[in-house]
Amino acid sequence: MSTSADPLNELDASALSVKGGSVRGMRGRGVPMVTEVAEYGGEEVLAVSCTQLGTAYSAAQARRVVEEWVEFFAAGPSGVRDLEFVTRTPKRLFAALRGQTQLQRLAVKWGDYEDLSSLSELENLRELRLGGASRVTSVEPLACLTTLNSLVVEGLRRAHDLSPLGRLRGLKSLELGGDWKSPRTAHVQSIDFLRHLTQLEDLLLHTIVADDLEYTSLLALPRLKSVRVMEVRGMNPPHATLRRMLSWSA
């Protein structure tokens, strides 16, 4: 699964053209990008850039900006259906998302969040992207999100048991990995949970290793149209066999 094939994958503020208060590049539209709550005008699709504000804000002002967003999201459902955080997301802001049960899409570029339980009640989510998830130790809360069609979790470092993801039977697109920029490879116990995700069409496992070296679950996915996994010494089946038997992506 290549990121170029999925316009919903990465919203990198440094890589997008920002003009007139909007982000160009997400779904080919101008997406409103705001810093302060007062700038929000009721849009359903929103990109929030409320941290890493530089010299334009004093330390006190920067804290106020974040706290206002915390209060906004914690207050309960809003008009936002599609939400992107394009700068660092503090854990208290991440936790406030519990109240946004109307969200259908959520993307977090990176942050110091570690507890995913605030997402477990977002029962309308169809797409979820978690970048910079290096502090996360458990993906168990994500198992409740049975309406998900697309899931991306990057920056994995401390979460070694991914078996709860096997309950996301409706997934059609899945991307998991460590940090491909560093690069830093994530180690997980097993990827056997994949055999339960029979609706998967796109699968990318980058910078991630299954410590049991068993990759046979990839052969149990009848709908795969695009797949790519990291080559690991001793993996079963061998990488070359998987490439030959599956619809390998470039």
Domain containing 232 — which CATH number? 3.80.10.10
Element (H, E) at 63: helix 59-74
What are φ and ψ of residue 243, in 5° steps?
Answer: -60, -35
In a domain, 127, yes or no: yes
Q: Quick check: is 241 in a domain?
A: yes
Q: How many domains does the chain have?
A: 1
| pLDDT tens-place string over residues 102-143 | 999 999 999 999 999 999 999 999 999 999 999 999 999 999
Residue 183 is part of which domain span?
A: 3-245
Q: Does 237 reside within a domain?
A: yes
Query: Residue 118: inside a domain, yes or no?
Result: yes
Tell whether 211 is covered by a domain. yes
Q: Does the residue 250 lie in any domain?
A: no
For the entire predicted model, the pTM comes to 0.88
What would the pLDDT profile of 205-236 be if each residue is shown by its tens digit?
A: 999 999 999 999 999 999 999 999 999 999 99
Q: Is 72 helix (H, G, I), strand (E, B) or coil?
A: helix
Contact (CB, 8 A) for 172 and 201: yes
Residue 32: per-residue pLDDT: 77
H or E element at residue 98: none
